[in-house]
Amino acid sequence: MDSDTASRRAGGVAARRQAARAMPELGPADARLIDRHLDATWAETGLTAASRESYRRDLAGFARWRGRDDALSAATPSDLSDYFAWRARGGYSPRSNARLLSALRGLYAWCVRERIRGDDPTARLGSPTLPRLLPKALTESQVAALLAAPDVDSPTGLRDKAMLELMYATGLRVSELVGLPAQAVNLRQGALRVTGKGSRERLVPMGEEAQHWLERYAAQARPILLDKGRSTPYLFVGANGEPLTRQQFWSTVKRMAAVAGIEPSRISPHGLRHSFATHLLNHGADLRALQMLLGHSSLSTTQIYTLVAREKLKQLHRMHHPRG
């Protein structure tokens, strides 16, 4: 990203934050409606805490923009169209608008079922066209450099090494990694029992290398990090004995990437997960098996990694073929 693009993006974010601060507070009637809807959705589908807060922010944003306490229950199709038009002028991304539309559709479908209102104002709203963004995968040499970056002579370095090795060996999501219970790890069998999206469980093999570093971390580093005999169900803990957050792990990945000499634009919170999937496909893994390992409910989600592998092949052909 060049400096002009970064500057424009930063300016757009600042303007949107300023506009949000200028809006009225969320009214109590709308707050109650959102809570009731999200409680019902959580009971039906096992909505994650992160998704719940995202939906809450999106729904509250529309209610505050409309500026009246029955904004949600009395909204019209014109209100929604005007709000999306306002967001378009404000530079909100198609992906952000798609998430908002999903939240609104869920709310009004529930309102109709609960007879809070008789119609769905989102029925005629079209979905925004989303650009196809391919996951950024590291090369195998970059992964090797990243995995070699932590200082394994310190407790936190040994923990970081175990986390990076485990994520690359299993393709866990960041949330699954930091929330992994110690009891979910079977070092004797070399496998993890992972609870993913929608509370779906899957059994994932970890491989000998990750198993080795996990054993070292559990025996040498975790007891030190759990100062004064504190206990926690989570496998990975911080220096104060508290479970790590996704933000803390992301900070660790960025620091290790800098040590490994990897450009910041090449790394992402899920970079090792994407690399795990891409490298397995490059070495001949079956797409259905990869779907099970990643915990995808739909094969179409997994198929995006075949596009990553195909793009890599095209690049190699252009670089090395005499008529590329």
Domains of the chain: 3-113 (1.10.150), 140-320 (1.10.443.10)
pLDDT at 185 over 70: yes
More confident residue, 126 or 64: 64
Averaged pLDDT, 156-168 = 96
The DSSP output letter for 129 is P
- The model's confidence at residue 63, banded by pLDDT at 50, 70 and 90, is very high
**Alpha helix positions (H), the chain:** 3-22, 28-45, 49-66, 77-89, 94-113, 140-147, 155-170, 174-178, 208-216, 222-225, 246-260, 271-282, 287-294, 299-302, 304-320
The predicted model gives 184-213 an average pLDDT of 90
Beginning with the edge strand found earlier in the chain, give each strand of the sheet holding 201-205 in spatial order: 185-186, 191-195, 201-205
Cα–Cα dist 243/260, whole Å: 26
Catalytic residues: 173, 197, 270, 273, 296, 305
Q: Looking at the DSSP assignment, which residues form a beta bridge with residue 243?
A: 237
* Rounded CA separation 64/54 (Å): 15
**How many other β-carbons are positioned within 10 Å of the β-carbon of residue 171?**
23
Say what the pLDDT of residue 4 is. Answer: 47
Which residue in this structure is represented by tokens 């998430």?
A: 99
Distance, in Å, from the CA atom of 83 to the CA atom of 23, rounded to the nearest integer, reads 13
Residue 270's pLDDT band, with cuts at 50, 70 and 90, is confident
Provide the pLDDT confidence category of residue 215 given band limits of 50, 70 and 90: very high
Answer for the pair 90, 16: CB distance below 8 angstroms, yes or no.
yes
Tokens representing residue 179 in the block: 């929330």
Q: Is the pLDDT of residue 70 over 70?
A: yes
- For the chain, what is the mean pLDDT? 84
HSE of 129 in the Cβ direction (CA atoms, 13 Å)? 0
Mean pLDDT (whole number) for 190-214: 90
Q: How confident is the model at residue 229 (pLDDT cuts 50, 70, 90)?
A: low
Cα 11 to Cα 18, 58, 86, 158, distances in angstroms: 11, 21, 17, 40
The pLDDT, as a whole number, for residue 132 is 62
Lowest-pLDDT range, 8-22, 146-160, 230-244? 8-22
pLDDT in tens, 78-107: 999 999 999 988 888 888 898 999 999 999
In eight-state DSSP terms, residue 119 is S
**pLDDT for 7 beyond 80:** no
Which position has the higher pLDDT, 318 or 74?
74
pLDDT score recorded for residue 5: 44
- Among the residue ranges 18-22, 133-137, 140-144, the one predicted with the least confidence is 18-22
pLDDT band, very low/low/confident/very high, at 311 (cuts 50, 70, 90)? low
pLDDT at 8: 47
Measured CA to CA, the distance from residue 277 to residue 176 in angstroms comes to 16
pLDDT in tens, 246-265: 899 999 999 999 999 998 88
State whether residue 3 is helix, strand or coil. helix
Cβ atoms of 296 and 302 within 8 Å: the answer is: yes
* The pLDDT of residue 10: 45
Average pLDDT over residues 136-149: 92
**Looking at residue 313, what is its pLDDT?**
58
Report pLDDT for 300.
73
Identify the pLDDT of residue 1. Answer: 47
